[in-house]
């Protein structure tokens, strides 16, 4: 494919530079010219070498081109502009190769662990969580396409303060017992089963209760609030301890909400392999093992003086020299073990990440938790099934966690590095992304009270604590409803079930594309108008291109596979790719040939948005081609075969790309 052709040119030029100038150039910069008139591959290498060789760039470029001579796969090379070397591909040969190039990427490998979603199991998922899960799931698909073995983990903080808050709500605001909560969960579950609606589900109930409880902590007199906060921490303590009715209630709540989250994500095609829980990290004493290792390697030290007196602390990344030069205690150090002996969040995270890399010397117990059509999802437990898959011990990890947690993530990496696990530290990627916020207008439309100050902002952060945000299931429902109406208008002939299926495929496509078209570090200011759009740069636009291609094959009474088989027997197709009137066809093939390059770029930069962009561009080029060339009406038999092959390759590439984006390709829409 295109990537290989680029690399081929790079190797050739490297060889020329060695032979002619005795230069060892590590990597030849290769780019795509801005215009097809400049060829398909170009390099400014001569411009870069001008100084070292004390020659004019154009002279160097000319010498390289002369030394290259004739090369198979290329029609020729030329010098342009200030000293670019432009290469023209052999179009006939390229098209032949692209048509044959099935499969994925095959550039990555190894055992990779991706952690994503990780929603506190105390409330319904909202749009911010959707961005996390969709980014993570898409990246997993990309890694798998490139040949890596990937385990997907969803970390469950079931003993944290957020779950404690909902427990406080049930116990002290609603006066419910463990049995009451159990009954409520059962009746909510029954309602979801019966009505197929998510609005009355248990996670929705918790959404409201969590907001109510958060407010309750601050809404009484000073003494009352102090008393309420005490209840909060007492509850948290009971959760961490386990084996008591409060912890039992927490377990019920967190498990029920977790099941809701898995159901929500499954609507979007998002699945997990393993659900490690904080309760097991605590009770299996992961921290004790990590603490020993951290002390032994000197990463942690006991602070005798200053504000952190009595704590075990570590130096923050970047502060090493400052810490060494400081005379007194390093007040900026990160506390890992508090003076009361309890461990902080970063400490627990270090232990967990040692496990991920197989460096802790301990493992979870495992039991089956959730069944997907194609595989099981396991959850951590104290002592579980005798036979289970092996999780952890990966050689690279990706943590899909929002950008605000950059500092604690850096601390964990720093700890690994300090312990001498530099290779693992280098393969630890904080896959960070910015939040999804609401535009003030959207917040007002949803009925939230928006302060004057917030009205002026470009966006307002969603907050589970305040109950402020758009719930994931509500958004999905709304998208499906809107799309169902659209599909019904266009296909009165289809039965309701089929229309519902198509509407769901398109709605999910629209949502996933919407979350993926923005690069990770751009804040998404959410607005229903944009998210509910099915035109322009959207998932449905790409799906529509696919439907059109399928219609061509249907009407032409053939299939993409048959067409490609025939094309393989054809003589040279190069003649159909020359000239200005065929520039759109060649541009389409060229884009179709970029699959491996795009996949590679996505992995190197941890950026799925490039794949989304690629799929859109491919669909766009096809739409253009579709309008310029009427395939089925083509009278030249050979040319018709070629045009059909063009559509077939486009279809194959679009379906592959959408698959990796987690978007289905409907038969009709």
Q: Which residues, numbered 290-349, are part of the site for RNA (CB under 7 A)?
A: 307-311, 332, 335, 338-340, 342, 344-346
Residue 14 token pair = 């490297």
Q: How far is the CB of 176 from RNA (least distance, A)?
A: 24
Query: Contacting RNA (CB under 7 A), which of 7, 8, 25, 32?
Result: 32
Query: How far is Cα 416 from Cα 214, in angstroms, rounded to an integer?
Result: 36
Query: Contacting RNA (CB under 7 A), which of 364, 366, 541, 589?
Result: 541
In the range 150-169, which residues lie near RNA by CB under 7 A? 157, 160-162
Q: How far is the CB of 480 from RNA (least distance, A)?
A: 12
At a CB cut-off of 8 Å and minimum separation 6, what does 25 contact? 14, 17, 45, 49
Query: How far is Cα 527 from Cα 512, in angstroms, rounded to an integer?
Result: 15
Kindly state the DSSP code that residue 471 receives in the 8-state scheme: B
Query: What residues form DSSP beta bridges with 381?
Result: 365
Handedness of CA 415, 418, 421, 427 (dihedral sign): positive
Q: Is 454 in the site for RNA (CB under 7 A)?
A: no
Name residue, tokens 């499906």: 480
Q: Is 525 in the site for RNA (CB under 7 A)?
A: yes
Query: Contacting RNA (CB under 7 A), which of 468, 544, 576, 589?
Result: 544
Decide if 657 contacts 611 (C-beta within 8 A): yes
Query: What residues form DSSP beta bridges with 312?
Result: 302, 337
Name residue, tokens 């253009």: 624
Query: Contacting RNA (CB under 7 A), which of 31, 227, 320, 426?
Result: 31
Query: Contacting RNA (CB under 7 A), which of 206, 270, 470, 506?
Result: 506
In the range 262-291, which residues lie near RNA by CB under 7 A? 278
Stretch touching RNA by CB under 7 A, among 61-69, 264-272, 468-476, 517-525: 517-525
- Terminal C-alpha separation, the chain: 31
Q: How far is the CB of 236 from RNA (least distance, A)?
A: 8
Q: Toward RNA, which CB reaches closer, 363 or 527? A: 527
Query: Contacting RNA (CB under 7 A), which of 4, 7, 38, 639?
Result: 38
How much is the CA Rg of the chain, to the nearest whole Å?
A: 29
Q: How far is the CB of 373 from RNA (least distance, A)?
A: 26
Query: Contacting RNA (CB under 7 A), which of 172, 441, 548, 639?
Result: 548
Residue 667 token pair = 């038969």
Query: What residues form DSSP beta bridges with 430?
Result: 399
Decide if 245 contacts 170 (C-beta within 8 A): no
Q: Toward RNA, which CB reaches closer, 395 or 519? A: 519
In the range 459-498, which residues lie near RNA by CB under 7 A? 461, 483, 486-487, 490-491
Residue 648 token pair = 């077939």
Q: Is 558 in the site for RNA (CB under 7 A)?
A: no
Q: Toward RNA, which CB reaches closer, 128 or 271? A: 128
Q: How far is the CB of 473 from RNA (least distance, A)?
A: 21
In the range 231-250, which residues lie near RNA by CB under 7 A? none
Decide if 591 contacts 542 (C-beta within 8 A): no
Stretch touching RNA by CB under 7 A, among 106-114, 290-298, 456-464, 563-571: 456-464
Query: Contacting RNA (CB under 7 A), which of 521, 559, 565, 572?
Result: 521
Please work out the total of residues on this chain that contact RNA, with binding judged by CB under 7 A: 99
Query: Contacting RNA (CB under 7 A), which of 408, 465, 477, 558?
Result: 408
How big is the CA angle at 36 (ends 33 and 38), to the nearest 5 degrees? 60
Query: Contacting RNA (CB under 7 A), which of 523, 570, 583, 587?
Result: 523
Q: Toward RNA, which CB reaches closer, 192 or 621? A: 621
In the range 358-397, which residues lie near RNA by CB under 7 A? none
Q: Toward RNA, which CB reaches closer, 207 or 459? A: 459
Q: Toward RNA, which CB reaches closer, 407 or 572? A: 407
Q: Toward RNA, which CB reaches closer, 114 or 311? A: 311
Q: Is 436 in the site for RNA (CB under 7 A)?
A: no
At a CB cut-off of 8 Å and minimum separation 6, what does 255 contact? 121, 158
Give how far Cα 419 sits from Cα of 156, 292, 361, 363, 428, Å.
26, 11, 15, 20, 14
User: Which among 229, 326, 277 is positioned nearest to 313, based on CA atoms?
Assistant: 326
Query: How far is Cα 206 from Cα 247, in angstroms, rounded to an integer?
Result: 17
Give how far Cα 418 sits from Cα of 300, 312, 350, 467, 577, Å.
9, 15, 12, 40, 58
Q: How far is the CB of 516 from RNA (least distance, A)?
A: 11
Q: Is 34 in the site for RNA (CB under 7 A)?
A: yes
In the range 577-636, which residues lie near RNA by CB under 7 A? 601, 607, 609-610, 613, 616, 620, 623-624, 626-627, 629-633
Q: Is 654 in the site for RNA (CB under 7 A)?
A: no
How big is the CA angle at 430 (ends 324 and 605), to the nearest 5 degrees? 115
DSSP secondary structure, 189-244, as one string: HHHHHHH--STTSHHHHHHHHHHHHHHHTTSS-HHHHHHHHHHHHHHHHHHHH-SS
In the range 61-120, which residues lie near RNA by CB under 7 A? 80-82, 84, 86, 120
Q: How far is the CB of 48 from RNA (least distance, A)?
A: 4
Q: Toward RNA, which CB reaches closer, 162 or 192? A: 162
At a CB cut-off of 8 Å and minimum separation 6, what does 211 contact? 464, 465, 466, 467
Query: Contacting RNA (CB under 7 A), which of 5, 42, 122, 381?
Result: 42
Q: Is 552 in the site for RNA (CB under 7 A)?
A: yes
Residue 315 token pair = 């130096």
């Amino acid at each position: 494919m295109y990537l290989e052709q680029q690399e081929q040119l790079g190797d050739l030029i490297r060889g020329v530079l060695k032979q002619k100038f005795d230069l060892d150039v590590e990597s030849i910069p290769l780019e795509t010219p801005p215009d097809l008139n400049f060829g398909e591959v170009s390099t400014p290498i001569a411009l870069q070498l001008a100084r070292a060789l004390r020659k004019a760039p154009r002279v160097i470029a000319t010498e390289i081109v002369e030394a290259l001579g004739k090369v198979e796969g290329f029609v020729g090379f030329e010098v342009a502009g200030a000293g670019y070397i432009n290469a023209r591909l052999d179009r006939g040969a390229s098209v032949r190769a692209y048509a044959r190039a099935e499969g994925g990427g095959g550039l990555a490998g190894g055992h990779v662990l991706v952690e994503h979603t990780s929603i506190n199991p105390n409330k319904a998922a909202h749009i911010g969580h959707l961005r996390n899960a969709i980014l993570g799931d898409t990246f997993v698909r990309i890694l798998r396409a490139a040949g890596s073995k990937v385990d997907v983990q969803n970390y469950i903080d079931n003993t944290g303060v957020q779950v404690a808050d909902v427990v406080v709500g049930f116990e002290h605001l609603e006066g419910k017992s463990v049995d009451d909560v159990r009954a409520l969960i059962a009746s909510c579950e029954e309602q979801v089963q019966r009505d197929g609606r998510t609005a009355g589900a248990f996670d929705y109930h918790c959404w409201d209760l969590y907001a109510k409880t958060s407010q309750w902590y601050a809404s009484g007199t000073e003494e009352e609030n102090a008393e309420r906060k005490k209840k909060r921490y007492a509850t948290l303590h009971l959760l961490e301890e386990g084996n008591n009715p409060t912890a039992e209630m927490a377990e019920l709540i967190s498990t029920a909400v977790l099941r809701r989250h898995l159901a929500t994500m499954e609507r979007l095609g998002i699945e997990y392999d393993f659900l490690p829980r904080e309760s097991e990290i605590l009770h299996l004493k992961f921290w004790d093992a990590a603490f020993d290792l951290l002390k032994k390697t000197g990463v942690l030290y006991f602070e005798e003086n200053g504000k952190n007196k009595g704590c075990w602390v570590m130096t923050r990344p970047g502060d090493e020299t400052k810490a060494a030069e400081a005379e007194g205690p390093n007040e900026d150090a990160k506390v890992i073990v508090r003076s009361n002996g309890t461990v902080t969040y970063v400490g627990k995270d270090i232990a967990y990440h040692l496990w991920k890399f197989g460096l802790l010397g301990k493992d979870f117990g495992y039991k089956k938790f959730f069944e997907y059509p194609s595989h099981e999802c396991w959850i951590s437990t104290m002592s579980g099934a005798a036979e289970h898959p092996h999780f952890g011990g990966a050689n690279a990890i990706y943590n899909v966690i929002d950008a605000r947690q950059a500092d604690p993530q850096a601390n964990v990496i720093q700890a690994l590095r300090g312990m001498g696990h530099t290779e693992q530290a280098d393969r630890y990627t904080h896959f960070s992304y910015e939040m999804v916020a609401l535009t003030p207008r959207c917040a007002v439309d949803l009925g939230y009270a928006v302060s004057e100050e917030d009205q002026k902002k470009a966006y307002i952060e969603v907050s589970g604590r305040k109950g402020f945000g758009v719930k994931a299931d509500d958004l999905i429902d709304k998208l499906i409803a809107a799309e169902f109406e659209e599909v019904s208008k266009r296909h009165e002939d289809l039965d309701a079930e089929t229309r519902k299926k198509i509407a769901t495929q398109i709605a999910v496509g629209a949502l996933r594309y919407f979350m993926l078209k923005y690069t990770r570090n751009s804040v998404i200011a959410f607005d229903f108008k944009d998210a509910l759009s099915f035109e322009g740069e959207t998932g449905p636009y790409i799906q529509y291109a696919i439907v059109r291609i399928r219609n061509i094959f249907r009407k032409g009474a053939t299939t993409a596979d048959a067409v490609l088989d025939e094309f393989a027997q054809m003589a040279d197709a190069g003649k159909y790719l020359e000239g200005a009137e065929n520039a759109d066809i060649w541009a389409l093939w060229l884009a179709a040939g970029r699959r491996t390059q795009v996949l590679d770029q996505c992995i190197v930069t941890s950026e799925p948005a490039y794949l989304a962009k690629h799929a859109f561009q491919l669909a766009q080029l096809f739409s253009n081609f579709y309008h310029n060339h009427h395939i089925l009406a083509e009278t030249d038999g050979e040319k018709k075969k070629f045009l059909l092959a063009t559509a077939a390759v486009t279809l194959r590439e679009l379906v592959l790309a959408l698959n990796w984006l987690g978007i289905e390709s409907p038969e009709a829409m």
